[in-house]
Amino acid sequence: MRIVDIIEKKRDGHALTKEEITFFIEGYTNGEIPDYQASALLMAIYFTDMTDEERANLTLAMVASGDQIDLSAIDGIKVDKHSTGGVGDTTTLPLAAMVAAVGVPVAKMSGRGLGHTGGTIDKLEAIDGFHVELSTADFTQQVNEIKMAVVGQSGNLTPADKKIYALRDVTATVSSIPLIASSIMSKKIASGADAIVLDVKTGDGAFMKTVEDAERLAHAMVKIGNSVGRKTMAIISDMSQPLGLAIGNALEIKEAIDTLKGNGPEDLQELCYVLGSQMVVLGGHATTLQEARAQLEEVVANGKALQVLREFISAQGGNADVVDHPELLPQAKYITQLVAKQSGYIAKLEADDIGTAAMLLGAGRATKESEIDLAVGLVLNKKVGDYVEKGESLVTIHANRQAITEVEQKLYQHIIITEQAVQAPTLIHTVITK
């Protein structure tokens, strides 16, 4: 087989065989195929697309390029959730504790964040004593006993995806549905999930700016998952404004706790129930989404979900007292209010730029090497559609330095207030179950 023939075939719009796709992935991962030929093939895929079968084969070839986590020692169906990324997305922790309380095992590998705010691992480190390194034996035992564990990424998962993603980044081939879908799904499958729930974000703060594009991506991923034996469902949710109210690591832990007490921000609470319902159905603990939702609402109302969070924090060395005393979380030195300069309706809270403002305070990483300040961040006091009086607080800023003019300026620039009434955006655009 010659890579040049494969490039030509794809350039002319023909479907590649499993062997051809595997030849490319193996050859590129081990360095036998140079960047220039891989770039040409990626561009051909960008323009001529791939069939469902090609997409599945590409995903499986990327899975096979590295280690695969074996979760078979954990009882039950392991369901994982993936979000395509957003600002202040506090979902993972409350969602995990809720579905674990219903009985679905959550064996999660999570990453650190880049940009906006930290990843789930960074947020958890805001809890005193919490550690994210567990041996495989301890990880398995913990999930079997309390149904929930979260560890940092380890092992050499999908090296083909790492190399291809870096190449796509510099060859204008990131925004291709078959390439994005196979990239995301290969990582989920290599992490050992039996079933997968996808939260595909849409809006200014998301990768997919329109609902139609987000739906195309979601359908592509759901098809890949189901065709390779991992049951997959998805939703399309709004990311035109940050999710919930808190953006920042310790602040989001507090928000997660509130959500497990049933007092979370409306959008975050709802998103947890919608995604959780899919996880509970895929995990085999309910047959309909309605039945699953009732179970989730029950474990929140009766405190079981909160109890899972306490046990999970203790099991990983953290101080579970934070659940009842969130003031034990790291606190910022300076708390100030960003007040409205005019009365009116909130028309826009531009997710990306508000995320950048939180990052400027130190809540996120500008580069992989940056240190995160776990205490700092933003708490929104208004969301899109709300009315605000001149002089009322729009945002509470938690900072560890006094000079925050550039943060305030950024926020004023990207919080748009209008005289006309504004509708709150739809939170859940689409629910995809097959």
Burial class (CB in 10 A: 0-12, 13-18, 19+), 2: exposed
Residue nearest Ca ion by beta-carbon distance? 244
Name the binder of 90 from Ca ion, ligand URA, none, CB < 5-8 A by kind. Ca ion
Nearer to ligand URA, 142 or 191 (CB): 191
- The owner of tokens 């995903």 is 59
The pair of three-digit structure tokens given for residue 303, joined into one six-digit string: 């405190």
Q: To the nearest whole angstrom, how small is the minimum distance from the Cβ of residue 194 to Ca ion? A: 28
Short-list 234, 206, 197, CA closest to 219: 234
183 included as an active-site residue: yes
Q: Which of 81, 116, 168, 348 is catalytic?
A: 168
d(Cα 7, Cα 45) in Å, to the nearest integer? 9
Name the binder of 88 from ligand URA, Ca ion, none, CB < 5-8 A by kind. Ca ion
Q: Residue 342 in 3-state DSSP?
A: coil
Q: Which of 183, 186, 237, 240 is catalytic?
A: 183
In this structure, are strands 246-247 and 415-418 parallel, antiparallel, or unpaired? Answer: unpaired
255 CA to centre of own chain? 16
d(Cα 194, Cα 416) in Å, to the nearest integer? 43
Q: To the nearest whole angstrom, how small is the minimum distance from the Cβ of residue 344 to ligand URA? A: 36
Name the binder of 412 from ligand URA, Ca ion, none, CB < 5-8 A by kind. none
- The owner of tokens 């380890």 is 154
Q: In b/e form, how buried is each residue of 385-422, taking b as 16+ CB within 10 angstroms? A: eeebeeeebbbbbbbeeeebeebeebbbebbebeeeeb
Nearer to ligand URA, 85 or 283 (CB): 85
246 binds Ca ion (CB under 5 A): yes
Name the binder of 180 from ligand URA, Ca ion, none, CB < 5-8 A by kind. ligand URA
Helices (H) and strands (E) in the chain, counts: 16, 13
The pair of three-digit structure tokens given for residue 25, joined into one six-digit string: 């992935």
- Do residues 110 and 316 make contact, with C-beta atoms less than 8 angstroms apart? no
- The owner of tokens 């899972």 is 308
161 included as an active-site residue: yes
Selected from 119, 244, 362, 377, the binder of Ca ion by CB under 5 A is 244
d(Cα 254, Cα 88) in Å, to the nearest integer? 12
Q: To the nearest whole angstrom, how small is the minimum distance from the Cβ of residue 176 to ligand URA? A: 8
168 included as an active-site residue: yes
Name the binder of 65 from Ca ion, ligand URA, none, CB < 5-8 A by kind. none
Name the binder of 244 from ligand URA, Ca ion, none, CB < 5-8 A by kind. Ca ion
Q: Which of 187, 230, 231, 254 is catalytic?
A: 187
Short-list 284, 285, 257, CA closest to 272: 257
386 included as an active-site residue: no
329 binds Ca ion (CB under 5 A): no
Binding site for ligand URA (CB under 6 A): 165, 179-180, 183-184
237 binds Ca ion (CB under 5 A): no
Q: Residue type at 219?
A: H
Residue nearest ligand URA by beta-carbon distance? 183
- Choose the stretch contacting Ca ion; rule: CB under 5 A; options: 80-88, 111-119, 162-170, 329-337: 80-88
116 included as an active-site residue: no
205 binds Ca ion (CB under 5 A): no
Nearer to ligand URA, 124 or 221 (CB): 221
| Binding-site ranges for Ca ion (CB under 5 A) | 88, 90, 244, 246
Which residues are identified as catalytic?
82, 161, 168, 183, 187
